[in-house]
Amino acid sequence: MGLHFNLLTLFPEMFPGSLALSLSGRALEKRLWSYHSLNIRDFAGDRHKTVDDTPYGGGAGMVLRADVIEAALLSLGERPQRKIYLSPRGKVLNQPLVQELAAAQTDITLLCGRYEGVDQRVLDAHEFEEVSIGDYVLSGGEPAALILMDACIRLLDGVMGNEDTAGEESFSAGLLEYPHYTRPAEWTDSSGVSRKVPEVLTSGDHGKVKEWRRAQSLALTRNRRPDLLPPSS
């Protein structure tokens, strides 16, 4: 029942974070999704609670120990789980992957790295997938986990307030969104420039509105993100 996330992190207080608010927060209260945040440090084997060590071969930074990560993982028990290590070297998260994860029939375990990384052997031994949220470097995987979770949660049945919103999105699937306007129909900005809402939107002609929005979406996509368009266009 509902999508369940396990979080393996050195900062369990970072969850649910922003996901306790707004749409995802309401969905959490409604039990449409749930989470279990584990502190990796609780699985350290020594009295100093050591979780990391220096890298073999030398170099800067520290590496999270395989044995500690595995102990945390095994504490989750035998429930089937999709295991994801959040790391900038993973495949980049996109909407098809988000849709796949939101529809997962198993728990999703997210390993959030810190320091230089995680001992490769625990990733290999437990067949972690690696996922990145984009081509830049964060100081840790936790914000990436929150983003991945947010993107999944908003797709769950019963989460969106307005059932129209999801359909609207599939209409413009793969394109950037057209511009939005609300009242007043004419607005003067702080420089004294008067700005009107595009006439078609106040015309009441729903066919024309739809056509205009589609054209706007296409033009925006062509200008800003041509990589999103199929090769034919």
Name the residues that contact ligand 6GU, by CB under 6 A: 86-88, 132-134, 136-138, 140-141, 144
CB of 206 to ligand 6GU, least distance (A): 41
DSSP helix/strand/coil, 68: helix
**Least distance from ligand 6GU to the Cβ atom of residue 89, Å:** 9
**Residue nearer to ligand 6GU on the CB measure, 134 or 184:** 134
Closest CB to ligand 6GU among 132 and 221?
Answer: 132
Q: Which is nearer to ligand 6GU, 118 or 159 (CB)?
A: 118
Q: Which is nearer to ligand 6GU, 33 or 85 (CB)?
A: 85
Confirm if 85 and 70 have CB atoms less than 8 A apart: no
* Runs of H (alpha helix) within the chain: 22-29, 66-74, 95-102, 120-125, 142-153, 163-171, 206-224
Cβ 88 to ligand 6GU shortest distance, Å: 4
CB of residue 115 to ligand 6GU, shortest distance in Å: 10
Helices (H), 103-205: 120-125, 142-153, 163-171
CA distance 44 to 83: 20
Exposed, middle or buried, 8 (CB in 10 Å: 0-12/13-18/19+)? buried
